[in-house]
Amino acid sequence: MTNKKRRDLLKMMAAAPFAGGLMMAFAQDSKPTQKVRTTAREKIRLRYFPNFVLTTHEGQKVRFYDDVVKDKIVVINWMYVKCAGVCMPITMNLMKVQKLLGDRVGRDIFFYSITVKPEEDTPKALKRYAKMHKAGPGWTFLTGDPKELEVLRRKLGFVDPNPQVDADKARHTGMLRFGNEPLTMWAACPAQANAKYVAQTILFVDGPKTPKKVI
């Protein structure tokens, strides 16, 4: 796939509801009649990143905006431990992506897998899952209050347009949401796409400072 085609696909993915909302935030921020100016970054934070307290697979309490996404490049997916559907293939594919990105994962790129079944997935269960799949440094599994996680799932755009499908946790979306929080660059891609393509796509939100190819 050529760089142009990758960029075109990235633009298409960015047209999802989440990204559409971001564009609205940019447009509102540019209105000259606005008396009190709020940066696009702040608007995105307020609209999409509730600062809920979550718990990591290591039992640590973290706030979603302050500790999870702020000042970072993040890659987010949703899963649950006893999933018999897309979770296992996605986790295995993300292992390949993590390896391709090398030591940047845990340094300035961070992976977050959030459970859609917090009632079942305790930090202990998530830790076993992470260990079983040999998740490396920089990859954190998260659980939290069920109602707050449902709000977060919807704000991040992990919602199926069919309400019946969306209500079935076993059929949750197999997408990745990734972005550069300080640069307000956000997009998505299929989580089971070729690992090298996923890694290169993630690097597109890193701005112009680094090469966009991975080995």
Q: How distant, in Å, are the alpha carbons of 21, 73, 75, 141, 142 from that of 127?
A: 34, 23, 19, 8, 10
Q: 3-7, 65-69, 211-215: lowest mean pLDDT where?
A: 3-7
Average pLDDT over residues 180-200: 96
DSSP 57: T
Q: How far apart are CA 51 and CA 44, in angstroms?
A: 12
37 confidence band (pLDDT: 50, 70, 90) = confident
Sequence-distant (6+) residues with CB within 8 A of 60 are none
Write out the CATH class of domain 3-30+37-206: alpha beta
Q: How far apart are CA 212 and CA 126, in angstroms?
A: 32
Q: Which letter, b or e, does each residue of 77-115 get, where b requires 16 or more Cβ atoms within 10 Å of its Cβ?
A: bbbbbebeebbeebbebbbebbebbeebbbeebbbbbbb
- pLDDT score at 212: 52
- pLDDT score at 168: 80
Q: φ, ψ for residue 194 (rounded to 5)? A: -50, 130
- pLDDT score at 167: 83
Sequence-distant (6+) residues with CB within 8 A of 162 are none
Average pLDDT over residues 138-161: 95
Average pLDDT over residues 117-142: 95
Angle, nearest 10°, between helix axes 87-101 and 195-203? Answer: 60
- pLDDT score at 33: 54
8 confidence band (pLDDT: 50, 70, 90) = very low
Examine the pLDDT at 18 and tell me if it is beyond 80: no
- pLDDT score at 129: 96
Show me where the domains of the chain are located.
3-30+37-206
- pLDDT score at 211: 52
**Continuous H helices in 156-194:** 163-167
Q: 16 versus 168: which is more confidently predicted?
A: 168
What six digits make up the tokens of 76? 């987010």
| Segment 68-123, tens digit of pLDDT | 999 999 999 999 999 988 899 999 999 999 999 999 999 999 999 999 999 999 99
What six digits make up the tokens of 157? 């755009």
pTM to 2 decimal places: 0.81
Q: Residue 215 is inside which H or E element, if any?
A: none
Q: φ, ψ for residue 27 (rounded to 5)? A: -65, -45
Q: How far apart are CA 150 and CA 159, in angstroms?
A: 10
